[in-house]
Amino acid sequence: MADTSSLDQLLQQGTSELRLATDEASLRSWQNRWFGKTGEISGALKRIAEIPAADRKDYGQKANAVKETLQKDFDLALEKVREEALEKDLAQGRVDVSLPGRQVLPGRLHPSTKIMRRILGIFGELGFETFTSREIEEDEINFGMLNMPPHHPARDMWDTFHTNKPGWILRTHTTPGQIHAMKLHAPGPVRVVLPGMCYRYENITSRSEIMFHQIDGVAVGESVKLTDLKGTLMAFIHKLFGEKRKIRLRSSYFPFTEPSMEVDMDCIICAGKGCSLCKKTGWLEILGAGMVHPVVLRNGGYDPQRHSGFAFGLGVERIVMLLSGMDDIRHFWANDWRFLNQF
């Protein structure tokens, strides 16, 4: 049988010293002396390795029991002194009932919500209807009907969250909503914007998040041209960023549009001269766009021989960052009042 008399003495000593602690400061000092990294309890537990193997179990059980007892006594003592301090403060304090109550701050819209509503309002003035679609989407609609069959390399552009139900995913963009909107309106004309949350399995950095807001737009009819797309985007950018803004179209690739392009705007800070915001290029990337691919038109219920259309997509948080000068997308989801209060 292991000699545990030293542990009995340790318990008696700890209990005696704890009784002498009469306020929170002295209790914290006692806690550090007994439960700190070099405290008495830590030392007693480390000595288990020095006990003969036959007696190690009994010693260890006793040492843990001492630890639990002292911890429980400490918690009770801390609670007691806090209650006594509160009662003393209430007894000595005086409540002035004539003082006005504390003001309850009103709620306010999140910056992403404010800008999203502003963007939707602008496109509403341009004749676009707001169309919402589901966030949990079929893989076939999210990818296949957008000209990305299984194993298509373009799927690597969208890191995907899969669900427990085979064939269903968290949508990686709002573009599949175009299929739903076209099927609803075909074969008649359609002109809608599609706002919503998107999800991608990405590393969280200052410029990427696993969830973000996006707005897609699509217009389909019998005589929709690339010049209609350019005019629509120019009108949108002028209303959102100012009449002096210029845009440029750069050739790009999206599987659901052909031709595809990136749309840039001259920097709102340096007006194209080059600064840190535009990385000395003089241009800021705003959105992606293009003419709807014939395969997508056909999947949406339209005849590519008779109908044509344009589409575009933009990130809402990206627009907020440009308008406010932010450089870290993680602020949007941190729920930090200091950040939100600036808006």
Cis status, amide bond into 166, omega within 30 of 0:
no
How much is the average pLDDT of 247-267?
Answer: 94
Q: Which of 22-36, 73-87, 88-102, 310-324 has the lowest mean pLDDT?
A: 88-102
- Cβ atoms of 70 and 18 closer than 8 Å: yes
Query: For the chain, which residues make up each domain, given as ranges?
Result: 5-92, 111-340
- Cβ atoms of 301 and 186 closer than 8 Å: yes
Pairs from 3-12 (Cβ < 8 Å, separation ≥ 24): 3/55, 4/58, 4/59, 4/62, 6/44, 7/44, 7/59, 7/62, 7/63, 7/66, 10/40, 10/44, 10/66, 11/66, 11/69, 11/70
Residue 66 has φ and ψ, to the nearest 5°, of -60, -45
Letter for the amino acid at 51? I
pLDDT given for residue 302 in this prediction:
97
Cα 232-234-237 angle, rounded to 5 deg: 110
Whole-structure pTM value: 0.67
More confident residue, 293 or 278: 293
From first CA to last CA, the distance across the chain in angstroms is 70
pLDDT in tens, 143-189: 999 999 888 887 888 788 999 999 999 999 999 999 999 999 999 99
* Per-chain mean pLDDT for the chain: 89
Sheet holding 136-138, edge to edge: 136-138, 168-170, 161-162
Examine the pLDDT at 103 and tell me if it is beyond 90: no
pLDDT given for residue 191 in this prediction:
97
Element (H, E) at 101: none
What CA–CA distance (Å, rounded) separates 233 from 286? 10
CATH annotation of 111-340: 3.30.930.10
Contacts of 47 (CB under 8 A, 6+ apart): 59, 63
Mode of pairing for the β-strands spanning 190-199 and 129-130: parallel
Nearest to 2 by CA among 43, 44, 55, 73: 55
What CA–CA distance (Å, rounded) separates 322 from 280? 15
Give strand pairing partners of 314.
215
pLDDT given for residue 3 in this prediction:
58
